[in-house]
Structure 1
Amino acid sequence: MPFPMPVAGLVIRYAFLWRNEAARGQEEGTKDRPCAVILVTNDEDGEALVTVLPITHTTPTDERLAVELPPATKRRLGLDDARSWIVVTDASRFIWPGPDLRPACPGDAASVACGLLPTGVFNETRDKFLAAVRARKAGQVQRSA
C-alpha cells in the first residue's frame, strides 16, 4: 500500500530527532515514536512539507507546552496505555514521505499512519504550538530539504 496523504492531525510513526539531539550533532533520532502532524505546506516544487510534534510519556514540566492525549484517543490510535503528551516546543519538518517514517508492518507504507487526532485535541495542540512559537519557546529541526 502507498504512503497515506499527510494531513494536519494525522498521527504517524516517525524517527523523531529532538532539537537538543540535533544540537549535539546527531542526525538520526534515537527512538521511533508517534508524532502528530501539525502543519502541511508545499515547497516550491510542489512537494509536501510536513511539520510534526513528538508524542512522549515524559510528564511535561509546564502544562502550557504540551497536550495530554485522552486514553480513548490512545486506544483508537493503537498506542499503549501509559499517559502521553504531545510536546509543542520541539518540531521536525521534512519532505513527505521521508526516510524517517516507520511503518508498523514492514513493506506496508500505509502503516506509518495511526489515525487522526480528535478535532478538539488537534485545535488545542495547534493553539499551544502557535503560542509557543510566538513566545519563542518552540523550534524545529529540518530533516530534509
Structure 2
Amino acid sequence: MNRPTAGEVFRYPFLWKREQLTGETEGRKTRPVCIAVTVARADGETVVFILPITTQPPLPSRKSIEVPQIESQRVGLDTHVRKWIMLDEINTDILERSYVWEDRTPIGAFSSAFTSRIQSSLIALARSGGASVIDRLK
C-alpha cells in the first residue's frame, strides 16, 4: 500500500463537525480532500490529517484557502468552479485500518508551493486553537 503524501488529493467521505454533533459517524458523501500531514507512528501505522475541499463559499468566520485555478487543473478538478480548502475542520484517520476510506488512489497532487502554503496556514491555525479535529482513528 502506498502511503499518501501531503498535497495529494483523494476522494473521501469527510465527516463535518455539524454531522458528528448530530450523532453521525460517516460522511454523507465522498468529496475531494487534501492530505495536509501524514505521521508515521512507532507501531508502523500512518495517521493522516485530512482537509475537505468544497465549492461552497465559506462564511467570513471560517478559515480557508481558495484553490487557485491552476491547482484545480493540476489535481483534475473542475476549473470553472471556485473551490476552497477548509482549514478549521480536520478529519484524522489511520491509513492501514480505515473503514471509511475505500479508494486510496490519488486523483492528483497540489504543487509543493501550494502544499507548503496549506501546511503553514494550518499550523498557524492549530497553534491558535482555531481548528476542530474529528478523530476517526478508531
AA matched with 2:100: D
**How many residues get paired?**
136
1:22 equivalent among 11, 20, 23: 20
Q: Counterpart of 1:119 in structure 2: which amino acid?
A: S
The percentage of aligned residue pairs carrying the same residue is: 30
Corresponding residue number in structure 1 for 2:101: 101
Paired with 1:26 and 1:64, the residues of 2 have a C-alpha distance of: 22
Structure 2: tracts of 5 or more residues without a match: none
Aligned-residue Cα RMSD (Å) equals: 1.8
C-alpha deviations, 1:27-54, integer Å up to 9, x for none?
A: 0001111111111112342101111100
**What residue in structure 1 maps to residue 124 of structure 2?**
131
Which residues of structure 1 form unaligned runs of 5+? Answer: 104-108
Give the distance between the partners of 1:101 and 1:54, measured in 2 at CA. Answer: 14
Q: CA contact under 8 A between 2:74 and 2:110: conserved in structure 1? A: no
- Deviation string, structure 1 residues 42-101 (Cα, Å, up to 9, x no partner): 234210111110000111224882111111221221112311011000000011042322
Aligned partners of 2:42 and 2:5: how far apart in 1? 19
TM-score computed with the length of structure 2 as normaliser: 0.88
Contact 2:14–2:52 under 8 Å retained in 1:
yes
